[in-house]
Every structure is written in structure tokens, then in C-alpha cells.
């Protein structure tokens, strides 16, 4: 994922193109190719990885937020368009990977603000992906893996 920060009014066309190309265009064409192969093989499951910015926009990262919201829309469109033989879902991680520029103390403090009082791990996300892969009656869903972040004040 690409997360160029900046003011909405200062986003350049290059920022827009770079972020949308990596966060949405690539996901669309990978999904398309995967669906073609899955359909030839009799069906399957596709799980997109979005993030909470797609549901709860981050003003400091406008293009990233837009791209992740669009990825969630792509998930729903694909779920409808590829059913019944291909199911499409998304995992929506919250605080799972500490940004390289963030100090460990600040990351830990962020975790303490969540209802589960900790940040997540890649294993938390992997288990959510596995759930979506295995549950044959789930499609078009965006599964939050955010430690309850959706319940915290903005």
C-alpha cells in the first residue's frame, strides 16, 4: 500500500496516479486474472486486503483513504459479479504493522487506546483471511481486524 501524506488541496496528479495504481489498479487486475483462473478451475475465493482508512477516512492521507474505500467497493462489485462460483471478501486491518517512522512507545500507546488494549499482528490478519477462505456462506464482506478501533472516538 502507498500512503503519501498531505493536504487534500495539495495532492498532485502524480500522487493520485501512484497511489491509485498501486492500491486499486493493481488489485483490480490481479483480481481479474485470479478470477479467470479460478473460474476455469471450478471456482474459489479471493480475499482483498484493505485497511480501516477505507471505512474511516484519514484526512492526512486522502488519496490512500479514497483508494482503500474503492478497494472495498471493488470487493462488493466482484462478489456480486463473480458469484456463485467465486466468493470475494476483504480483510480490513487496523493497527497491525508499526510504521517504520513511528517510535515503539507511540505504537504501544496507540494499542492501549483500543478496546482490546493492544495492536494487532500479521497473524491476526492471517486468521481473518483463513476464516473468509473457509466460510462458504460469506461473500462481499469487509471483515474488520482492528481491535475494536471502530468504537473509539475519532
CATH code for the domain in which residue 37 is found: 3.40.50.720
pLDDT in tens, the chain (154 residues): 666 667 899 999 999 999 999 999 999 999 999 999 999 999 999 999 999 999 999 999 999 999 999 999 999 999 999 999 999 999 999 999 998 899 999 999 999 999 999 999 999 999 999 999 999 999 999 999 999 988 887 6
pTM of the model: 0.92
Torsion of CA 115, 116, 118, 124, to 10 degrees: -130
Domain assignment of residue 1, yes or no: no
Domain assignment of residue 97, yes or no: yes
Domain encompassing residue 73: 8-151
Domain assignment of residue 98, yes or no: yes
Domain assignment of residue 123, yes or no: yes
115 CB contacts (<8 Å, ≥6 apart)? 147, 148, 149, 151, 152
Amino acid at each position: 500500500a502507498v500512503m503519501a501524506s498531505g493536504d487534500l488541496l495539495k495532492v498532485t496528479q502524480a500522487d493520485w496516479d501512484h497511489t491509485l495504481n498501486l492500491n486499486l489498479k493493481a488489485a483490480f487486475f490481479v483480481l481479474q486474472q485470479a478470477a479467470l483462473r479460478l473460474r476455469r478451475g471450478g471456482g474459489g475465493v479471493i480475499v482483498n486486503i484493505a485497511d480501516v482508512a477505507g471505512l474511516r477516512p484519514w484526512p492526512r492521507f486522502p488519496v490512500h483513504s479514497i483508494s482503500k474505500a474503492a478497494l472495498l467497493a471493488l470487493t462488493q462489485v466482484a462478489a456480486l459479479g463473480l458469484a456463485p462460483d467465486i466468493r470475494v471478501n476483504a480483510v480490513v486491518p487496523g493497527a497491525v504493522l508499526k510504521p517504520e517512522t513511528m517510535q515503539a512507545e507511540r505504537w504501544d500507546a496507540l494499542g492501549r487506546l483500543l478496546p482490546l488494549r493492544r495492536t494487532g499482528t500479521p497473524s491476526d490478519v492471517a486468521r481473518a483471511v483463513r476464516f473468509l477462505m473457509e466460510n462458504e456462506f460469506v461473500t462481499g464482506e469487509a471483515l474488520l481486524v482492528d481491535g475494536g478501533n471502530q468504537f473509539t472516538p475519532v
